[in-house]
Structures are given as C-alpha cells and as structure tokens.
C-alpha cells in the first residue's frame, strides 16, 4: 500500500517505521514525493485534445497522454478525432497541431503525433505488473474542459475497485473492447476525461481512462481504465501499422447505392444518413429498409453522417456481411443486407 512500507520491509515496525516514514515524507534526501509532486510531474505529460464536436453529449475535447518525448500522444478513438484539425495543448500552454497516426478500433485507442522535441513524456512501460484491487491511484484528465491554456488538467484520487472484463455500451453502441479493465472508485466518467492518465502514487502510468460507457447489464455509468499492457499493445500495433486503418478521414469510401440504399443528398458537413428510398429488387429492399429510416450503425459502428456510412462500408471487405441498424418510429431495427459487393460492382 504505502511505498515506504514496501521499500523498507525490514524496518516496518513501531517507532523505527515512524522514523522511516518521517524521513521518507519530510527528509530532504530520500523523501518520497508528495501526491502534489507526483501529480505535478505526471501532469506535464497529459495534454488537452481539441477536435470535432461541440454539441451536447459530443464534446469537442478529450485528454491525451504524451508517451514519447518525440510527440506521440495516446488518446481514445472518438468523434473528437473526426476532424481535419486536432490540437494538443500542453500544461505550459504550448499548442500543437496533431496528426492522426492511426487507431485501434478494437481497444478504441488512437495515436496522435505532434511535432516537438524533448517533450515531457509519461512513458508507456508495457511490462509494469497489473495493479491489484485496493491500490490507490490518481486520475489526471481534461474533465469538463475546465483547464484551458496553461492550466493543468484536473487531478482526482481513488482506488482500484476491481479488475474485470468490460461489457459496456452507450445507447445502441456496443463497446467492441471486451478485455480486462480496472474499475475505479473515482468518478472518471465525465466529459473530457477519456484518454486521461491513471497513475499510481509513484507517478507511473498504469492505465488510460476509457470512453464514457454504461455497464451493459445494469446501465450504470462506468468509471474504468484500460490497463497499461493493453494500451501498450494498441500503441505498438498502431505505430507498426498493424492496427486497422483509422476510421476518421482518409479511408476508402463505398457508395451505399450499390446496396440499393439511397440516402438523402449529402449537402451538409454532417448530413444525417436518412434513407430517401430503396432501389426495387436490391438487397436494401429485400432487407425491409424503408424511406425515412435513419441509419445509426453499420456493423455496430455508429454512423453520425452520410460520409460516415460511406466510410464504414468502405472499411468492410468485399463479401463481408453488411448489417445496418436504423431508427424507425423511435424503435431500433436491425437489417441484414447480405455480403457487401465490390466497390466497382454494378448493382
């Protein structure tokens, strides 16, 4: 529990321990860092990330962690990154434009890159042992966008409550990650918190705060973090190019008309993907899609815009089964359209 107790087991008795504690906490030489010093050190590597969004429930900000002095930033994969301009602001107020290096859609993590040297990184140590329930932790995040400019992100304290597999969703969206997470006795489920750093009392990065999700079973908002080994795997895959292509921007697009799905004209930045009609005899018509259906997901991935529909379909391989989730009269309806044709294939 206490670092001092663990470091000096042989002296952990009575008055000698008191002396050790006093030395460790107050002495100028071998003193353990105070929580304030630990936070101050680690928070330099936590950045405020600004991108797309700005409407209720879809904030345009989240948190990122500088994991290399060269400017690699780990953050969560979210709509915030669905923007041509992503900015990272350090705790000294420096603002950097960020480039999306790649994303791991399974763990819903992304890596950004900013141009810098000798940046104050909070390193990813993949082989750090997992922390056990009862361990005290600190969460550093850009919650509620409270901190701006050179203001430091917010610090919260808590305890690891449990180490369990994640089963979570938000609305109709089901979290793809089913691996282990740390459940936290600390309210980290706040706007802007995702991507934040979970550190131990030595200032080591032990996890990354996850997206805002509810438990599938109970609907309770979850306070959780991805363990650092999972984060490291995602980071390695992304940087090595092994993770799937980023969802946002740049992906190949697929025209839903090839499935017989005729959407309203793409007139806005984010045209909501309403069905205008289905082509008679098409897979869409066979699946029972109707005019005025609103597409909300393609194979479980949310599609807030027409463009997102084209990109989500483009991310599938030819022959992959296509499943569209639509809202019809307030109800969610799932429609299977069969295998996706090739992009050049005539309907």
Catalog residues that contact other proteins under the rule CB under 8 A: 1-2, 5, 12-15, 17-18, 21-22, 25-26, 34-40, 43, 56-57, 93, 134, 136, 138, 143-157, 159, 186-191, 212, 221
Cβ-based nearer residue to other proteins, 152 or 253: 152
Cβ-based nearer residue to other proteins, 199 or 337: 199
H/E segment holding residue 284: helix 283-286
Smallest gap, in angstroms, from Cβ of residue 82 to other proteins? 21
Smallest gap, in angstroms, from Cβ of residue 9 to other proteins? 12
Smallest gap, in angstroms, from Cβ of residue 208 to other proteins? 18
Smallest gap, in angstroms, from Cβ of residue 231 to other proteins? 22
The DSSP line for 216-240 is TTT-PBP-EEEEHHHHHHHHHHHHT
Token pair, residue 273, equals 């993907």
Smallest gap, in angstroms, from Cβ of residue 19 to other proteins? 9
Cβ-based nearer residue to other proteins, 33 or 257: 33
Smallest gap, in angstroms, from Cβ of residue 92 to other proteins? 10
Cβ-based nearer residue to other proteins, 136 or 328: 136
- At residue 67, φ and ψ (nearest 5 deg) are -105, -10
Q: How far apart are CA 296 and CA 338, in angstroms?
A: 18
Cβ-based nearer residue to other proteins, 33 or 101: 33
Indicate the burial class of 267 (C-beta count within 10 angstroms; 0-12, 13-18, 19 or more). exposed
Smallest gap, in angstroms, from Cβ of residue 219 to other proteins? 12
- At residue 54, φ and ψ (nearest 5 deg) are 110, 0
- The 3-state DSSP class for residue 42 equals helix
- The 3-state DSSP class for residue 88 equals strand
3-state helix, strand, coil in the chain (%, to 5): 20, 35, 50
Cβ-based nearer residue to other proteins, 170 or 290: 170
Token pair, residue 316, equals 């599938």
Cβ-based nearer residue to other proteins, 21 or 245: 21
- The 3-state DSSP class for residue 130 equals coil
């Amino acid at each position: 529990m206490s670092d001092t107790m663990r470091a000096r087991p042989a002296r952990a008795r009575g008055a000698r321990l008191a002396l050790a504690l006093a030395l460790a906490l107050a002495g100028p030489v071998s003193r353990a860092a105070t929580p304030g010093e630990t936070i101050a050190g680690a928070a330099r590597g936590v950045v405020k990330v600004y991108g797309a969004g700005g409407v209720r429930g879809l904030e345009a900000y989240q948190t990122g962690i500088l994991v290399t002095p060269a400017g690699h930033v780990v953050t969560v994969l979210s709509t915030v990154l669905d923007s041509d301009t992503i900015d990272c602001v350090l705790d000294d107020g420096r603002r950097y434009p960020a480039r999306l290096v790649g994303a791991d859609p399974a763990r819903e993590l992304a890596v950004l890159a900013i141009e810098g040297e000798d940046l104050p990184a909070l390193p990813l140590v993949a082989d750090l042992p997992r922390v056990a329930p009862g361990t005290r932790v600190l969460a550093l995040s850009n919650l509620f966008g409270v901190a701006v400019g050179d203001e430091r992100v917010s610090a919260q304290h808590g305890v690891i409550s449990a180490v369990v597999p994640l089963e979570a969703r938000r609305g109709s969206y089901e979290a793809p990650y089913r691996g282990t997470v740390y459940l936290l006795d600390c309210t980290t489920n706040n706007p802007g918190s995702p991507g934040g750093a979970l550190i131990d009392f030595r200032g080591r990065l032990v996890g990354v705060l996850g997206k805002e999700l509810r438990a599938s079973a109970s609907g309770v908002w979850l306070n959780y973090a991805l363990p650092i080994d999972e984060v490291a795997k995602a980071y390695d895959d992304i940087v090595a190019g092994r993770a799937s292509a980023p969802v946002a921007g740049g992906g190949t697009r697929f025209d839903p008309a090839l499935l017989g799905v005729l959407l309203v004209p793409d007139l806005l930045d984010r045209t909501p993907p309403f069905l205008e009609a289905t082509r008679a005899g098409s897979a869409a018509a066979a699946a029972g899609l109707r005019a005025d259906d609103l597409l909300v997901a393609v194979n479980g991935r949310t599609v807030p815009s027409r463009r997102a529909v084209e990109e989500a379909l483009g991310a599938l391989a030819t022959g992959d089964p296509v499943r569209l989730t639509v809202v019809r009269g307030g109800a969610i309806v799932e429609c299977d359209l069969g295998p996706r044709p090739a992009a050049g294939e005539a309907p």
